[in-house]
């Protein structure tokens, strides 16, 4: 299964909505140029010839659900603000940093947790039901694949809908922690600004800086979102598990990821070592373009919705 490498761009008919995101949030999606239907046919051929497809998804998938990414030119949070995501070392080292993080997360949680899967998430779940998709690895922590019903799923960087204790390692639901926050901080309020991909939020106004953060109910330890913060590394057992699923597959499709983060890029390097065919669906260049036999630039939702898992 070797295709000549082609860089192609997808287009849609005039007037057609480009994603399933609600009105007002598609500004988080990069603009995309247009080309002919031939790109769809090539991607359809790639998917059809795969029998056990391994899929890697990134932030470009969730932007169409209204969750901004960090790096996209002009629309990512790095471009829109001077804020940067929480670093693992800072969170572990500083009680004040944890207080500020959890205060922002508390304010942003209702908005962040309300986001729903878009047509791309739903299409990939249908591919799994039809037996086309062998395993899906996501770099996103928003739980949208789980909400869509995806079963064969590894959340490579964890999930913001779960909380872990740095002391005893126990895992609990982020929704339950929200109730504890409310009980401890009944008079604390703030107005949320833009919510980041990990549920962090940008304050507009703060009425009380004395936010109280509860400890782990089991051991009294420090609570942290069950996500891989910047500066931390993915669990080695998780990495090996994903490598094992990749070894069982016969083709790789990257969806909505620039592959800038090594934790996901390593699997594309491994696919290259195995001479596995790789296709990329993303708006703009990616770190792995040189590994791809087929590159399609387009919006994830509108492209995947028309590709059939034959």
**Bigger pLDDT: 28 or 262?**
262
- To the question of whether residue 219 is assigned a binding role by annotation, the answer is yes
Lowest-confidence segment of 6-10, 26-30, 101-105, 122-126 by average pLDDT = 6-10
Q: Which of 107, 43, 115 is nearest to 295 (CA)?
A: 43
Q: Please give the backbone phi and psi of residue 194, each rounded to the nearest 5 degrees, phi first.
A: -75, 135
What residue ranges do the domains of the chain occupy?
37-306
Given the candidates 3.40.50.1220, 3.40.50.300, 3.20.20.140, 1.10.3720.10, the CATH classification of the domain at 37-306 is: 3.40.50.1220
Q: What is the pLDDT of residue 188?
A: 77
pLDDT over 90 for what percent of the chain? 70
pLDDT surpasses 80 at 2 = no
pLDDT over 70 for what percent of the chain? 76
Known catalytic residues are 157
- To the question of whether residue 189 is assigned a binding role by annotation, the answer is no
- To the question of whether residue 216 is assigned a binding role by annotation, the answer is yes
With both helix axes pointing from N to C terminus, report the angle between 174-184 and 95-113 in degrees, rounded to the nearest 10: 120
Q: What per-residue string of b and e applies to 198-221 under the rule 16 or more CB within 10 Å gives b?
A: bbbbbeeeeeeeebebeebeeeeb
Reported confidence tier of residue 17, pLDDT bands at 50, 70, 90: very low
Reported confidence tier of residue 68, pLDDT bands at 50, 70, 90: confident
pTM of the model: 0.84
Reported confidence tier of residue 190, pLDDT bands at 50, 70, 90: low
- To the question of whether residue 65 is assigned a binding role by annotation, the answer is yes
What whole-number distance in Å separates Cα of residue 29 and Cα of residue 302? 13
């Amino acid at each position: 299964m070797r295709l000549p490498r082609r860089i192609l761009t997808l287009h849609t008919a005039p007037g057609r909505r480009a994603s399933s995101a609600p009105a007002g949030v598609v500004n988080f999606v990069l603009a995309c140029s247009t080309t002919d239907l031939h790109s769809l046919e090539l991607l359809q051929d790639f998917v059809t010839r795969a029998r056990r497809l391994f899929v890697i998804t990134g932030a470009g998938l969730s932007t169409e659900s209204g969750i901004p990414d960090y790096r996209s030119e002009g629309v990512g949070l790095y471009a829109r603000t001077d804020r940067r995501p929480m670093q693992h070392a800072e969170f572990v080292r500083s009680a004040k940093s944890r207080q500020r993080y959890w205060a922002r997360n508390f304010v942003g949680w209702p908005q962040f947790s309300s986001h729903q899967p878009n047509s791309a998430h739903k299409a990939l779940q249908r591919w799994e039901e039809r037996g086309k998709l062998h395993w899906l690895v996501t770099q996103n922590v928003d739980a949208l694949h789980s909400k869509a019903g995806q079963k064969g799923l590894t959340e490579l960087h964890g999930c913001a809908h779960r909380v872990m204790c740095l002391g005893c390692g126990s895992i609990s639901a982020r929704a339950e922690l929200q109730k504890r926050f409310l009980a401890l901080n009944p008079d604390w309020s703030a107005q949320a600004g833009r919510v980041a991909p990990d549920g962090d939020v940008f304050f507009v106004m703060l009425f009380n800086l004395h936010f109280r953060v509860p400890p782990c109910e089991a051991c009294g330890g420090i609570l942290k979102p069950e996500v891989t913060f910047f500066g931390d590394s993915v669990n080695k057992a998780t990495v090996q598990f994903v490598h094992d699923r990749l070894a069982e597959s016969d083709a790789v499709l990257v969806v909505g990821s620039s592959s800038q983060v090594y934790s996901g890029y390593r699997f594309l390097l491994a696919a290259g070592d195995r001479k596995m065919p790789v296709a990329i669906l993303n708006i703009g260049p990616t770190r792995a373009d040189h590994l791809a036999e087929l590159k399609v630039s387009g919006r994830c939702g509108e492209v995947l919705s028309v590709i059939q898992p034959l």
